[in-house]
Amino acid sequence: MKPICFSFLLLLSFCLGCRAQQPPVLPSWALGPFTRPQPVRPVITPDPQQQFPDPMSGKNVAWMGHAAFNPAAIVKDGKIQVLFRAEDNSGVDKIGAHTSRIGRAESTDGINMKIYPAPVCYPGNDDQREYDWPGGCEDPRVAVTEKGLYVMLYTSWNQKTPRLSVATSTDLVHWVKHGPAFKTAWGGRFRDVSSKSASIVTQPANGQLVIAKVNGKYLMYWGEYFVNPAVSDDLINWTPVLDDKKELLKLIAPRKGYFDSDLTECGPPALVTGNGILLLYNGKNAPGAGGDTRYPSNSYCAGQVLFDKKDPTRVIGRLDQPFLYPTEPFERSGQYAAGTVFLEGLVFYKEKWFLYYGCADSRVGVALYDPKKR
């Protein structure tokens, strides 16, 4: 009987472990559940055959030869457009040491992608060189106004200080760089402070998601180690909101023992819903007892937080478990083997939600949510 009992205990332990890692039953205010389309695979992968004439070196560069990941997404002309971070093979072989450029792909089904042969935003001999070179242009998020102006917030990386920067376009191909988002705010206090990861608030209008105003101003949530709000009148110059001590106002922060115990980094553009303002974000799990031991140490998992529409600094809901986390081999192998589902792109297309994410700093993945099947 002992071997049978021992086997039973092993089976029970295994089942409980699997059960503990199932995505949570979502509250009514949350978006989802999201599932990976079958067969499960990345939708964008590195391609060393893609070459373009680099204006900085004067040479042809395999601009997405090393990695292709961390995607933004938007719907234009009846197709999903994905703007993704691509790394070349320059620099030493470690995270952040290559040059990044922002590439473009499009799809009519959200899964099979046509990759365009040249990046659309990259370091050049322009007035942003001091911010963009040599690290490049990273981690875009993109949203559009009702008048058709595309606004992209990305990280300018000079391999010294990451800065949240702004670019605008009318066609997603030709971009005007406007420089650091916080360059003028508070007398330039935050121009040279590390900043990244911005989620502009959007709302549904005429069948698409467009940039919204909240209490008379454009609003974005931004930040990596905590979530902070910033406001703008023109979508180019942004002012971080401060607390009563004149420090950055922290709306949410890492929680000990949870999947987001090490950092909370903003994801795709936030969404105004009937319940509030919904922000999808990326939580990094601290190692050991400081994190959630059901998920790998240092992995990036996906969370959701709900803010009050009238007071967009007030949290009224937050998931305690991730609704998406690294499970597939391509999400747990590559530059960041601890695993990532790093959210940056969210679109509503053909009656479904498509959520695009970076996989282990190496590839692009997608998950779908069909509201009719909830």
Alpha helices in 119-258 (DSSP H): 129-132
Q: Can you give the residue range of the structural domain that contains 200? A: 47-373
Q: Is the pLDDT of residue 17 over 80?
A: no
Q: Is the pLDDT of residue 15 over 80?
A: no
Alpha helices in 164-286 (DSSP H): none
Give the model's pLDDT for residue 96.
79
Q: What is the pLDDT of residues 167-180, one digit of tens each?
A: 999 999 999 999 99
Instruction: Select from 86, 83, 65 the least CA-distant residue to 75.
Output: 83
What rounded mean pLDDT belongs to the chain? 93
Give the model's pLDDT for residue 101.
98
CATH number at 206 reads 2.115.10.20
Q: What is the pLDDT of residues 186-217, one digit of tens each?
A: 999 999 999 999 999 999 998 889 999 999 99
Distance from C-alpha of 95 to C-alpha of 98, rounded to nearest angstrom: 7
Model confidence band, residue 21 (pLDDT cutoffs 50, 70, 90): low
Pick 90 or 185 by higher pLDDT.
185
Q: Which helix (H) or strand (E) holds 367?
A: strand 363-369
Model confidence band, residue 22 (pLDDT cutoffs 50, 70, 90): low
Model confidence band, residue 374 (pLDDT cutoffs 50, 70, 90): confident
Model confidence band, residue 6 (pLDDT cutoffs 50, 70, 90): very low
Distance from C-alpha of 316 to C-alpha of 311, rounded to nearest angstrom: 10
Average pLDDT over residues 250-270: 98
Is 23 among the domain residues?
no
Question: Do residues 36 and 325 lie in contact, with contact meaning Cβ atoms separated by under 8 Å?
Answer: no
Q: For residue 150, with 0-12 CB atoms within 10 Å meaning exposed, 13-18 middle and 19 or more buried, which class applies?
A: buried
Residue type, 273: T
Tokens of residue 67, six digits:
């990695």
Q: DSSP letters along 95-156, please?
A: TT-SPEEEEEEEESSSSS-EEPSS-SB---SSTTHHHHTTTEEEEEEEEE-TTS-EEEEEEE
Count of domains for the chain? 1
Q: What is the pLDDT of residues 69-78, one digit of tens each?
A: 999 999 999 9
Pick 1 or 113 by higher pLDDT.
113
Output phi, psi for 134, to 5 deg.
-95, -5
State the residue for tokens 């600094």: 313
Number of residues assigned to the chain: 374
Is 67 among the domain residues?
yes
Q: What is the pLDDT of residues 76-125, one digit of tens each?
A: 999 999 999 999 998 777 777 899 999 999 999 999 999 999 999 999 99
Three-point CA angle 329, 281, 371, nearest 5°: 80
Is 20 among the domain residues?
no
- Give the number of other CB atoms < 10 A from CB of residue 102: 26
> Could you tell me whether strands 114-115 and 100-107 are parallel, antiparallel, or unpaired per DSSP bridges?
antiparallel
Q: What is the pLDDT of residues 306-353, one digit of tens each?
A: 999 999 999 999 999 999 999 999 999 999 999 999 999 999 999 999
Distance from C-alpha of 153 to C-alpha of 72, rounded to nearest angstrom: 10
Q: Which residues pair with 73 in a beta bridge?
A: 82
Q: For residue 165, with 0-12 CB atoms within 10 Å meaning exposed, 13-18 middle and 19 or more buried, which class applies?
A: buried
Is 37 among the domain residues?
no
Specify the DSSP class assigned to residue 329. Answer: G
Question: Do residues 301 and 285 lie in contact, with contact meaning Cβ atoms separated by under 8 Å?
Answer: yes
Is 21 among the domain residues?
no
Average pLDDT over residues 27-52: 97
Distance from C-alpha of 291 to C-alpha of 342, rounded to nearest angstrom: 18
Average pLDDT over residues 257-283: 98
Contacts of 32 (CB under 8 A, 6+ apart): 23, 26, 304, 323, 324, 369
Model confidence band, residue 24 (pLDDT cutoffs 50, 70, 90): confident
Percent of all residues in the chain with a pLDDT value above 70, rounded to a whole number: 94
Is 183 among the domain residues?
yes
Question: Do residues 109 and 79 lie in contact, with contact meaning Cβ atoms separated by under 8 Å?
Answer: no
Q: Is the pLDDT of residue 163 over 60?
A: yes
Model confidence band, residue 8 (pLDDT cutoffs 50, 70, 90): very low
